[in-house]
Structure 1
Amino acid sequence: MKKRAIFTILSLSSALVSFAQGNGLAGITDATTMVSSYFEPLTGLIYAIGAVVGLIGGVRVYSKFSSGDPDVSKTAAAWFGACIFLVVAATVLRSFFL
């Protein structure tokens, strides 16, 4: 038990010493800039995935409707919900982080 406590104290003190060295604010600013630069392409990618999901869902709903399947409305709601979720998630992430 004592060894674990000593190891924990040494680990924390070495972590504090390593955080005290260097310019932490510049590192945080650089990381924020790098992460923010990824959101524009990521948002476009999510919108493209939503469009593909919408097309695939439309084809699947049409095939179920043509074959007379009774669960057409349930399938259409699921695919439509997936598309709406992708668009809303991309918009919320973009507005939240940028």
Structure 2
Amino acid sequence: MKNLFLILMVTLIIAVICLKVTAQTPPGLSEINEGKNLMAQNFRALSRAVLILGALFGLLGGLRIYNNWQMGKGNIDIEVAGWFGACIFLSVLGVFLSALYQVPIA
């Protein structure tokens, strides 16, 4: 019984050593990580640019709606709903894409 236990332990130790020796990192792993880091940097910059553009277009849309309101044109409610929906869409889109590509918002 003692011999069987000793043989089993030696076999397990040899198997673990062989697995450690043959275990290597897969090829291309460093390139994938580098690409992920580049995508994260570009995503942050592009998400900031989209938010700035969204703010500018929101201000322009607000001025357009205010001008139409002062001119007495009808259907201002439809324009307000459209511009408000666009602002909400831009805000939610950034969060959705960061979750989709697993890039933290910073």
What TM-score results when the alignment is normalised by the length of structure 2?
0.65
Q: Does 1:40 align with 2:44?
A: yes
Question: Higher helix proportion, which one?
Answer: 1
Deviations 1:18-42 (A, max 9, x none): xxxx922122111111111112211
Asked which structure has the greater CA Rg, the reply is: 2
Across the aligned residues of Structure 1 and Structure 2, the Cα RMSD in angstroms comes to 1.6
Q: Aligned pairs, how many?
A: 77
Give the structure-1-normalised TM-score. Answer: 0.70
Runs of 4+ in 1 over 6 A off after TM superposition: none
In the alignment, structure 2 segments of 5+ residues that lack a partner are 1-25
Match of 2:76 in 1: 72
Greater relative contact order (Cα < 8 A, sep 6+): 1
Structure 2 counterpart of 1:60, from 64, 84, 102: 64
Q: Where does structure 1 lack aligned partners over 5 or more consecutive residues?
A: 1-21
Distance, in Å, in 2 between the alignment partners of 1:80 and 1:53 is 11
